[in-house]
Chain A
Amino acid sequence: DAKTTQPTSMDCAEGRAANLPCNHSTISGNEYVYWYRQIHSQGPQYIIHGLKNNETNEMASLIITEDRKSSTLILPHATLRDTAVYYCITLRGNTGKLIFGQGTTLQVKP
């Protein structure tokens, strides 16, 4: 599975969009991009995943570049409850092991 690179930390004002970048330049054609987040002392929570098309659900949007070497997770209207560590992970299918890096610590401020 491809290695991912994320900024260590980011701040976002409450009510504004939070844009979290991820580089995965060695991703292979059959690897999906998954995003999870972990709020302090809880288990990771699945947010969204995609292969090559942009995806949107009730939580977030995922924008994947055409060459698939990077992606951006967008939280359209960040709230204080979105403060968490966000992990970008690449994975083949749904049966592989998730390899967590250090993630991005997003701090949403009032």
Chain B
Amino acid sequence: DAGVTQSPTHLIKTRGQQVTLRCSPKSGHDTVSWYQQALGQGPQFIFQYYEEEERQRGNFPDRFSGHQFPNYSSELNVNALLLGDSALYLCASSLAEKNYGYTFGSGTRLTVV
């Protein structure tokens, strides 16, 4: 049973560029959440998608946007990258109607130079 799959695992971007990160949820899950984890800090909630709609959003600027597809996979887009966007980006999936906890992927390490 495949868990949460994220791609790419690492990437380097230049300040001002745009980036798209991808997430495939665990089989059977319908809800996808994205988190940003700076070095030495706990993960911070960016937003959550359910039924292809953004259901909740954390305290992140509009440069951060997302999408969920009919197959429940999701993308995180970040525009106009800043040096401070360098972080580990984590995707977590869950099943909305069940209280089984979130399953996290291993993350995408983004470095902005």
Contacts of A32 in B (CB 8 A): 99
B103–A46 touching, CB < 8 Å: yes
**Docked complex Cα distance between A78 and B95 (Å):** 30
Contacts of A46 in B (CB 8 A): 100-104
Contact of B90 among A43, A96, A97, A99 (CB under 8 A): A43
Contact of A45 among B50, B56, B95, B104 (CB under 8 A): B104
Known: A97-B58, A98-B43, A99-B45. A43 touches B106 (CB 8 A): yes
Classify chain A: how many residues form its interface, as a range: 20 to 34
- Answer whether residue B33 sits at the interface, using C-beta atoms and an 8 A cutoff: yes
Contacts of B98 in A (CB 8 A): 94
Contacts of A41 in B (CB 8 A): 88
> How many residues on the B side are at the interface (Cβ–Cβ under 8 A)?
30
B33–A43 touching, CB < 8 Å: no
B99–A49 touching, CB < 8 Å: yes
Chain B, residue nearest A103 (CB): B42
Chain B, residue nearest A47 (CB): B101
A 28-59 binary contact with B (CB < 8 Å = 1; else 0) = 00001010100001111110010000000000
CB within 8 Å of A: which residues of B?
4, 31, 33, 35, 41-45, 48, 50, 55-56, 58, 88, 90, 92, 94-96, 98-107
Q: Can you add 18 more A-B contacts, CB < 8 Å, to A94-B96, A94-B98, A98-B43? A: A41-B88, A43-B104, A43-B105, A43-B107, A45-B104, A46-B100, A46-B103, A46-B104, A49-B99, A85-B42, A93-B99, A94-B95, A94-B99, A95-B48, A95-B96, A98-B92, A98-B102, A100-B35
CB within 8 Å of B: which residues of A?
32, 34, 36, 41-46, 49, 85, 87, 93-103
10 sample A-B contacts, Cβ–Cβ < 8 Å, listed by A number: A43-B92, A43-B107, A44-B104, A94-B100, A95-B50, A98-B43, A98-B45, A98-B102, A100-B43, A100-B44
